[in-house]
A and B are shown apart, each in its own frame.
Chain A
Amino acid sequence: AQSVAQPEDQVNVAEGNPLTVKCTYSVSGNPYLFWYVQYPNRGLQFLLKYITGDNLVKGSYGFEAEFNKSQTSFHLKKPSALVSDSALYFCAVRSYNTDKLIFGTGTRLQVFP
Chain B
Amino acid sequence: ETGVTQTPRHLVMGMTNKKSLKCEQHLGHNAMYWYKQSAKKPLELMFVYSLEERVENNSVPSRFSPECPNSSHLFLHLHTLQPEDSALYLCASSQHRGENTEAFFGQGTRLTVV
Please list the residues of chain A having a beta carbon within 8 angstroms of any beta carbon in chain B: 32, 34, 36, 41-46, 49, 51-52, 90, 92, 94, 97, 99-103, 105-106
Q: In the complex, are the beta carbons of B50 and A43 less than 8 A apart? A: no
A94 vs B97: C-alpha distance when bound (angstroms): 11
Scoring B90, B94, B102, B105 by chain A CB atoms within 10 A of each residue's CB, the highest score goes to B102
Cβ 8 A contact of B99, one of A44, A46, A51, A106: A51
Cβ 8 A contact of B56, one of A44, A49, A51, A99: A99
CB-CB nearest in chain B for A36: B105
Q: In the complex, are the beta carbons of A32 and B101 less than 8 A apart? A: yes
Query: Which candidate, B41-49, B60-68, B76-84, is the interface stretch facing chain A?
Result: B41-49
Q: In the complex, are the beta carbons of B102 and A34 less than 8 A apart? A: yes
Please list the residues of chain B having a beta carbon within 8 angstroms of any beta carbon in chain A: 2, 4, 6, 31, 33, 35, 42-43, 45, 48, 50, 55-56, 90, 92, 94, 96-97, 99, 101-108, 110
Can you name 21 A-B residue pairings with CB atoms under 8 Å?
A34-B103, A42-B108, A43-B2, A43-B90, A43-B106, A43-B107, A44-B103, A46-B102, A46-B104, A51-B99, A94-B101, A97-B97, A99-B31, A99-B50, A99-B94, A99-B96, A100-B45, A101-B48, A101-B94, A101-B103, A103-B43
Residues of A close to B2: CB separation below 8 A: 43, 45
A102 vs B104: C-alpha distance when bound (angstroms): 14
Q: In the complex, are the beta carbons of A100 and B56 less than 8 A apart? A: yes
